[in-house]
Structure 1
Amino acid sequence: MALKIHFTAADLARVTVAAEPDPLWEVLLGVHAIQVRDPGPVLSRWRTRTGRPQSARHLAHIAPARGYSPDFLTPAESAHGLPAGLEAVRATPRARLKSEVALLAGGRPLAPWTAEVASGRLLRELTSTLAAFHRETVAPHAELLAEAVQDDRRHRARVLLDSGVEGLLTGLHPLLTRSGDTLVLHGTHVTGDLHLDGRGVRLVPSFFCHGAPTVLADPTLPPVIVYPMALDPARYGFGSTPAADPSAALATLLGKTRAHLLTAAAGGRTTTELSRRVGVSPASASYHASILRSAGLLTSHREGTMVRHCLTDLGAGLLRRGGAERADEISRR
């Protein structure tokens, strides 16, 4: 099976790449990743850390890992941020809710919660559940996702310069091939023809997409191709690369978490990298980094959407001496 995506010259001129993660696509695909047996090494570690929150149990009924998920869960407005996307979901007309949930059911009985969503009576609860899943499983890794998207964009920019927009499209994933003016998406999850008719297409790199690129089922909606980014487990490992053990003296002086964080910051690390290496949340890593910065042990500066932390001379000296000889200097700062 395959989906044939038909381009015109106008469509090739209107191909865009998302500059940041699309929150509701990440929610949908994150719900899928929690349900499948093996989403890959990076997402498996994310799933181990995340667990299966209550929000995922509800959403699994309306967003099964296999087959159709309603298009209204990933509106185009989500490209402008989570609040805009949730507002678009809340505004979904009842006729569309009914038709898309019926397509999801495929003639089978609906779970009671999904049936209530289809009626329009649980739209606010649906958006609250989507927001809860994002808050619990996606937002804690926002900096990591943004970093991955920026890495992907830099790669796509190089491909575009070397091979043009046609090379960009076919280089997204091995399951995407080109035949003349047609881009073919192979897979059992898609079929038919999608005529862009001058609308162009938005390419959406996704952290949680796994296995194959995906598209919206309704050809009248703004076209998107959501594709999985190539994720290096060593870089996006959710705690798989621990920081070196600090000395006992340093841990006694600063506390174990801050000592680990200071050790991990050698050479410069982003907040996400620190959280991953130390095994704490990004929010916790940011908090402890602020304490170390106030003590004069770290400096922090923004790089686009990320914040990078580096050792000061005092911090580097403290690491070299194990903490004991510089305690009095810190206490005076």
Structure 2
Amino acid sequence: MNVLTYNVCAAGNSAGTCVRDLTPERRKTWAGQVSALIRSRNVDVASFTEMCYAQVGLLKRALPGYRLVWYGYAKGGGPGREDRCRTLWSDLTPDTVPPDGKTFGIALALKNGIEGPPPLRRLLRADHAPSTPGETIHPRGLLCATGRVGPRRSVCCVTHISDTETPRQIVDLVSAYAGDAPVILTGDFNREPGHNQLTDVYGMGLGQGGYTEVDAEPCGVARRGGEHTTRGGRKIDYIFASEADYRPGGAEVVRTDPELSDHLALTGTLIGTEPRPRRDGGPWRGSYPASERRRRGRRR
């Protein structure tokens, strides 16, 4: 099963690191480039963060047959700033604003459509203090939808969190929604692989969570790592999957030409495992060092 995740930086950002990529000429190529990348790699599930609602319609036209699922939780540009989702994309489509006015958010594209329960759209709570006192806390969200990925039905999720939302919150919400179903969890976690909070996500003997990461097993040696996914040289975008149901098949970071974001697209392959009893955690459960578990327990 092939998966892609891409932070598209569609409204620009306060740091100005991707505004240069949103020229009229480059935006005209956006849907064509992204759809060609998805088709050429036969992607089963694609996820997008920092996306504008206007791009959903553009991508729908470029990807007939895929089901697009959208969750908008903010207005592009942030509190007190112009809605760049409207101003930047209105020259390509008149359909820039959804009925609820939330033009900025996250999205999924599923090749085989959705089935089962209604999608989960959840605005996250700030459950961790910001790194800088008085820092503005921006809305963050989680979107999940159930669809057939390869031969099995899986819950496919995308999230975008900052330092004020913990990965633990995401894991708990996904678990409550998915139950015993296989899970593919993607998005921008704004944390590099060695961050201690990702211990709640990683399984594979690399943490206390239940997820494998698509590029965490080169040459059969499990690790936290992978190529950087931002122009600044950080790995903060991930493709995780429940380790009881999938094992990693390799990943690749892909540059578009011209560049369309200050992030790079992350693509990867997941290989389905034989069905096993749920909650046994897959082949690596129990191998995370007991000493680390004790240290974490003392901090609590």
Q: Is TM > 0.5 for Structure 1 vs Structure 2? A: no
Tell which has more relative contact order, 1 or 2 (C-alpha 8 A, sep 6+): 1
Higher normalized strand content (fraction of residues): 2
TM-score w.r.t. length of structure 2: 0.28
TM-score by length of 1: 0.26
Decide which structure has the larger Cα Rg and report it: 1
